[in-house]
Amino acid sequence: MNMEEVYQFLKDAETYYLATMDGDQPRVRPFGTIHMFEGKLYIQTGKVKDVSKQIMKNGKVEICAMKDGDWLRVAATLVEDDRTEAKASLLDAYPSLKEMYAPDDGNTQVFYMKDAAATFSSFTKEPKTVTF
């Protein structure tokens, strides 16, 4: 298992759930963006959203996705990458987002995963963990 398999699982699942902390209250919402750029996994959001404010206060998050009876949990710290190249690369991978976002619009925000531990699980197999 490696980071590419984490990327492919999340891409194939299409929707994953991102948990953040809002003070002492967990918050969970569906996400669909996952992107590989310069050897790191990235997600995207808008700076105007509560999720952005929560990540900026506490970058520790957890992601969960399910596909074909298997599930994946990823615990990571999200780090903002404010470079236009990183934003443009992600938006190029998700052309439909270009209707709402642009790399230099002051709202588009991308984060990469740092200190990540991804665990693949199912009811029929032993869990497998990969770190990156």
CATH of the domain at 43: 2.30.110.10
CA dihedral sign of residues 36, 40, 41, 44: negative
User: What is the per-residue pLDDT across 13-41, written as a single tens digit (0 to 9) for each?
Assistant: 999 999 999 999 999 999 999 999 999 99
pTM given for the model: 0.95
Instruction: Please give the tally of structural domains in the chain.
Output: 1
* The 3-state secondary structure of the chain, one letter per residue: CCHHHHHHHHHHHCCEEEEEEECCEEEEEEECCCEEECCEEEEEEECCCHHHHHHHHCCEEEEEEEECCEEEEEEEEEEECCCHHHHHHHHHHCHHHHHCCCCCCCCEEEEEEEEEEEEEEECCCCCEEEEC
Structural domain boundaries enclosing 28: 3-131
Share of the chain above pLDDT 90, in %: 98
pLDDT in tens, 103-128: 999 999 999 999 999 999 999 999 99
